[in-house]
Amino acid sequence: MTAETPLTWLYVPGDRPDVVRKARGSGADVVIVDLEDAVAPDRKEYARSAAVELLCEPASPTTAPVHVRVHTEADVLALAGLPGLAELRLPKITHAASVHHIAALAPGVPLCPLLESALGIEHAYTVASAHPQVRSIGLGEADLRADLGVRDDAGLDWSRSRVVVAARAAGLAPPTQSVFPDVLDLDGLWASCAHGRALGFLGRAAIHPRQLPVIERAFRPTPQEVEAAQEIVEAAREQAGALALPDGRFVDAAVVAQAHRTLALAGRGR
């Protein structure tokens, strides 16, 4: 984890190139051009051509990188190799074979498979470890909720934890939380982010710019967490190996590593 660790991803419909360009200056760490659910069937081809045009444009160093959630194999073939493409997000992945197929169509392009069904969750680790081009995995909670017949949000927690564990076991970055669908309920978004952070997610996708500051604050370490991490790092400098702090907390190498990650995240963007 570095000071550049992203925390906010903003979804934008691919058939609204004017909105996509505006989103790149919205403050989001990453902009996700959506060619799938956010685009009507009769607008899919236009959305693809608009995405190709956007990704061929020179990018300013101050604009957010662009990921694309694809809809079809034709999208992958059209986008692979374009200079402005940072990552492909692959919806409704259920098997490692699908990842290998896309990787062959888009060699060298970072991939993020999205698990959106019970079968996808069951294969979480094999998908996460399927190919070196897989840089992250994520959940598509709307489809997963429908597939499982879950009404209460807590019904998704086992699947969420499964994805967090699979990502870690595969050596990937912590997954980002799925979108919070109510763009007006910022208190609800905050509480949901706090819960997701407790489960091991890092950062979150948004569907409106007003959600970005809430997500940013929710996933940054608190002043108390930063202070505790600084104390641990300083103590580790003075004494190698396991040690006990004055307040009784036991510190070993794993705790020190977590403290360094906390400080790196706290310094993000400074």
pLDDT at 270: 52
**Among 62, 122, 70, 60, residue whose Cα is nearest residue 96:** 122
Tell me the CA distances in angstroms from 148 to 101, 113, 120, 144, one per residue in order: 27, 19, 12, 6
Exposed / middle / buried, residue 108 (Cβ in 10 Å: 0-12, 13-18, 19+): exposed
Please answer whether residues 55 and 63 qualify as being in contact, where contact means their C-beta atoms are separated by less than 8 angstroms.
no
pLDDT means over runs of 10, the chain (270 residues) = 75 96 93 96 97 89 90 97 96 98 98 98 98 97 96 94 98 96 97 97 97 96 85 76 71 79 75
pLDDT at 267: 76
pLDDT at 248: 67
pLDDT at 235: 79
CA distance 12 to 21: 10
Task: Give SS3 for 172.
Answer: coil
pTM: 0.89
**Among 245, 209, 155, 166, residue whose Cα is nearest residue 23:** 209
The structure tokens 């990787």 sit at: 103
**Among 90, 103, 15, residue whose Cα is nearest residue 51:** 15
Please answer whether residues 121 and 150 qualify as being in contact, where contact means their C-beta atoms are separated by less than 8 angstroms.
no
